[in-house]
Amino acid sequence: MKRQIVFSILLLLLIASGCSSESDKQQGQIKHGNKVEKVELTVSAAASLQDALNEITTAFEKEHQNIKINYNFGASGALQQQISQGAPVDLFFSAAEDKFDRLVKNGLIKKENGLNLVGNELVLVVPKEANKQIQTFEDLPRANRISIGTPESVPAGQYAKDTLENLHIWKDLKDKIVFAKDVRQVLTYVETNNVDAGIVYKTDAMISPKVKIIAAAPEKTHAPIIYPVGVIKNSPHQTEAMEFYQYLQSPSSIEILEKYGFKGLN
């Protein structure tokens, strides 16, 4: 009798353990001892999003303790090429629609799993203690060196070139241009006085106490600055990627993005 009771108890424990394990698997929380295995997502995002996304991620990971977000920040063009070549990425947050649209066109992002999330502005910045008489874009010929992102790979660089061309001063400036790998490098060049001026997103200028904004590019001088985000079709973590994708659209996330200078589109 005692043996039967012991056997029955052991059987019940095994069944309970099995149910618990199955439940954990379904929630993406497979336990080993007292540890929970985390699903890690890789997000390729434009460099200008770095500060806002770091704050959003802190809040997201507190609410979703089974998901860890890893970032690959850089120029949108370079990130798009990496994804096209098979880089293991779960989400793409671009600073330009055309780079994002290429991945949609090539079937790497489903159209229904992507959207335009926020916008930005383009501004002219100079070092905080600048002594050159540069007050507007039209004053740039007075500068010795001006930095913009490389237009072929950095959306902000293409917007900057378009602006200077539409203001009819590109030809006067092109020999003075110092190209940078992304907007953060442009900002660094201005902060360290390696250039007299730089053209960056408003969101980048706002985070630096070492530069001052002296002018905003007229909207008609460049294409609208739109930031689309989407889930990569072949992500092995579709459920978790969609969770973060939806979280980025939440009011709390939009509020953080707007705090860093991004513009809501709705």
Give me the domain span that covers residue 43: 31-119+225-264
- 193 conformational bin, left if phi > 0, alpha if psi -120 to 50, beta if neither: left
61 or 38, which is more confident? 61
- On whether both 128 and 216 belong to a single domain, the answer is yes
- On whether both 183 and 252 belong to a single domain, the answer is no
**Binding site as annotated, residues for molybdate:** 48, 76, 156, 183, 201
For residue 127, the model assigns a pLDDT of: 96
For residue 3, tell me if it sits in a domain.
Answer: no
**Binding site as annotated, residues:** 48, 76, 156, 183, 201
Q: In the predicted model, is pLDDT for residue 22 greater than 90?
A: no
- Which neighbouring-strand residues pair with 229? 93, 115
- On whether both 213 and 130 belong to a single domain, the answer is yes
Q: What is the pTM of this model?
A: 0.78
For residue 231, the model assigns a pLDDT of: 98
Query: Residue 161's pLDDT band (boundaries 50, 70, 90)?
Result: very high
CA-to-CA dists, residue 45 to 71, 73, 88, 230, angstroms: 7, 5, 13, 11
* Nearest Cα residue to 61 out of 32, 77, 39: 39
Q: In the predicted model, is pLDDT for residue 254 greater than 90?
A: yes
pLDDT single digits (tens) 186-240? 999 999 999 999 999 999 999 999 999 999 999 899 999 999 999 999 999 999 9
- On whether both 40 and 163 belong to a single domain, the answer is no
For residue 122, the model assigns a pLDDT of: 97
- Rg for the chain, CA atoms, rounded: 24
Query: Residue 27's pLDDT band (boundaries 50, 70, 90)?
Result: very low
CATH number at residue 151: 3.40.190.10
Name, in order, each residue with C-beta under 8 angstroms of 122's C-beta and a sequence gap of 6 or more: 156, 159, 160, 163, 199, 200, 201, 202, 216, 217, 222, 225
Q: In the predicted model, is pLDDT for residue 6 greater than 80?
A: no
For residue 24, tell me if it sits in a domain.
Answer: no
Instruction: Please give the structure tokens belonging to residue 9.
Output: 């108890």
Q: What would the mean pLDDT of 107-119 be, rounded to a whole number?
A: 97
Query: Residue 137's pLDDT band (boundaries 50, 70, 90)?
Result: very high
- On whether both 86 and 201 belong to a single domain, the answer is no
Q: What would the mean pLDDT of 25-39 be, rounded to a whole number?
A: 55
Of 5-19, 44-58, 140-154, 237-251, the one with minimum mean pLDDT is 5-19
Percent of the chain whose predicted confidence (pLDDT) is above 70? 86
* Domains in the chain, number: 2
Q: What would the mean pLDDT of 167-194 be, rounded to a whole number?
A: 96
Q: What would the mean pLDDT of 72-84 be, rounded to a whole number?
A: 95
